[in-house]
Amino acid sequence: MDKIIIRGGQRLSGTVPVSGAKNAALTLLPCALLTDEPVTLRNLPRLADIDGFQHLLNQFGISTSIAGARPEDFGRVMTLQATRLTSTVAPYDLVRKMRASILVLGPLLARAGEATVSLPGGCAIGNRPIDLHLKALEAMGARIELAAGYVRAIAPDGGLPGGTYSFPLVSVGATENAVMAAVLARGTSVLHNAAREPEIVDLCNMLAAMGAQIEGIGTSDLTIHGAERLHGATYMVMPDRIEAGSYACAAAITGGDVTLTGARIEEMEATVQALRDAGVVVEAVKGGLRVASDGDLRPVTLTTAPYPGLATDMQAQLMAMLTLAKGSSVLTETIFENRYMHVPELNRMGARIETKGRTAIVHGVERLTGAEVMATDLRASMSLVIAGLVAEGETQVHRLYHLDRGYERLEEKFARLGADVERVGND
Ligand code: EPZ
């Protein structure tokens, strides 16, 4: 397994492009199931999770082709076509490797009237149930059966009638599955307390480009009028607001000055506010975002929440940045029950972080020291890289496959900004 060796101490400066958003791409790809016409996605990030999803879609008989991307290009163009489905089963050995596979449940059900998907199970950050996905589909008229570790969803003859569902808590994935099921229903569906993340807006905009009729895009109340059929479309994946926020934390902790081209400040307001409260300069510049700091960081109090609140996916990276703030910061993680696995590893680098349930107190220290550390999940891994960039000496981050799931050509982007990073194999 690969690892990254980082020699800390370089101030990051320069410009890097923000890649297409992983969490948008993973819900845009299954939309190809909703039509027999070609669907083309542009600005698709080169990530392990995208490759995994492509392989899963191929299982259903979807043809996929990658348009000529030069090796040095960021992002790719993929055309997908589900002329007819040869299977409606998402098998355990694929789903267990990538829990976002559950996002084929809604579109398969909508297109074929049935879907059998292995239950995704939990992951490092929590047990990640899918009860809300299933309740929303039942509200639209699906019959749900659970057996042998699989969930089977069946629509009545003639297709899903559609229905109304109020989410008891905000769920990005459940909202995505519900919307993708509703767009081909026989009637109208109404979702209350739906997730409003920009990735949901991207999904709704792409479905609208395919002919879907969705009202309330960007709000918590979505009304979807089912269509007889959807047509193909070409769609540009939105920029990754979490990748952009991650690089912003790296620029801040190293006292750097970095421009992130493609970043949309209007989709990152809570993260931008957290950075500014910590004393970081963040400004919209033509086509992107500039992040600059003198390295003097102030402590802040942060609580993660559904959009437009502070993204849980930014918690670990902001925590890494705050390890060097002049004072104690208080972070509260309200979304997942086990999202502090980066804490012991950061403390091994000299940070002083205490956790108590969902709350972490980050006591600022003078310096971090390089160490061998272990990545445990995607965003925890990035927090260790961010710490390594400023730590004295050498940091080795093991189990890089976690990072490769969500950050496109990370070592290349950091090298462009002047970091001393090197990927080595045979970990
Ligand atoms: C999506 O996961 C993202 N993944 C996550 O990003 C992100 O952290 C999360 O949304 C929250 O923003 C993708 O988009 C592929 P949820 P998802 O359903 O959809 C509970 C990353 O690092 N819940 O909004 O699984 C759940 O346990 C990843 O890129 C239920 O109880 O998140 C959690 O506590 C990590 N029942 C809360 O809701 C359900 O049926 C929010 O989960 C579904 C969720």
Q: What are 9-51's pLDDT values in tens digits?
A: 999 999 999 999 999 999 999 999 999 999 999 999 999 999 9
Give the pLDDT score at 277: 98
Q: Which atom of ligand 1 is nearest to the CA of 379?
A: 22
Q: Measuring CA to CA, which residue among 75, 73, 154, 147 is closest to residue 108?
A: 154
Instruction: For residue 169, give the ligand 1 atom closest to its CA.
Output: 38
Output the CA 173–ligand 1 centroid distance in Å: 6
For residue 352, the CA-to-ligand 1 centroid distance in Å is 28
pLDDT tens digits for range 56-89 = 999 999 999 998 677 778 889 999 999 999 999 9
Res. 318: pLDDT tops 70: yes
To which CATH superfamily is domain 22-236 assigned? Enolpyruvate transferase domain (3.65.10.10)
**pLDDT attached to residue 427:** 52
pTM of the model: 0.97
Nearest CA to ligand 1 atom 14: 23
| Closest residue CA from atom 27 of ligand 1 | 128
Same fold, 2-18+239-425 and 22-236: yes
Instruction: Give the nearest ligand 1 atom to 336 CA.
Output: 34
CB neighbour list of residue 68: distance below 8 Å, 6 or more residues apart: none
Q: Which two tokens stand for residue 212?
A: 């879907």
Q: Answer with the residue of higher pLDDT: 375 or 418.
A: 418
Residue 141, number of CB atoms within 10 A of its CB? 19
pLDDT, tens digit, for every residue of 398-413?
A: 998 999 999 999 999 9
Please tell me what DSSP assigns to residue 324. Answer: T
Q: What is the mean pLDDT of residues 109-137?
A: 92
- Confidence category of residue 128, pLDDT binned at 50, 70, 90: confident
Distance, CA of 178 to CA of 191 (rounded, Å):
8
The per-residue pLDDT of the chain, averaged, comes to 96
| DSSP 8-state symbol, 4 | E
Per the listing, tokens 């410009």 go with 15
Ligand 1 center to residue 186 CA distance, Å? 28
pLDDT at 2: 87
Pick the closest to residue 291 from 267, 263, 312, 319 (CA basis).
263
CA dist 154 and 399 (Å) reads 39
The residue whose C-alpha atom lies closest to atom 25 belonging to ligand 1 is 173
**For 116-127, what is each residue's pLDDT tens digit?**
999 987 787 888
Q: Which atom of ligand 1 is nearest to the CA of 377?
A: 22
Which residue's alpha carbon is at the smallest distance from atom 7 of ligand 1?
A: 313
Give per-residue pLDDT as tens, 239-282.
Answer: 999 999 999 999 999 999 999 999 999 999 999 999 999 999 99
Residue of 300, 339, 405, 374 whose CA lies nearest to 49: 405
Do 356 and 290 meet the contact criterion of CB atoms below 8 Å apart?
A: no
Average of pLDDT values for 307-331? 98
Residue 82 CB coordination number (10 Å) = 26
Q: State residue 73's pLDDT score.
A: 80
Alpha carbon nearest to ligand 1 atom 35, residue: 313
Q: Was domain 2-18+239-425 assigned CATH 3.65.10.10?
A: yes
**Which residues are the active-site residues?**
123
CB 216 within 8 A of CB 196: no
Residues 218, 223, 229, 232, Cα dihedral to 10°: 0
Kindly give the distance from the C-alpha atom of residue 2 to the centroid of ligand 1, in angstroms, as a whole number: 27
As a whole number of angstroms, the distance between CA 249 and CA 324 comes to 12
C-alpha of residue 129 to centroid of ligand 1, in Å: 9
Which residues have C-beta atoms less than 6 Å from ligand 1? 23, 26, 100, 126, 128-133, 169, 171-174, 312-313, 335-336, 378-379, 406
**DSSP state for residue 268 in the 8-state scheme:** -
- Map out the domains of the chain as residue ranges: 2-18+239-425, 22-236
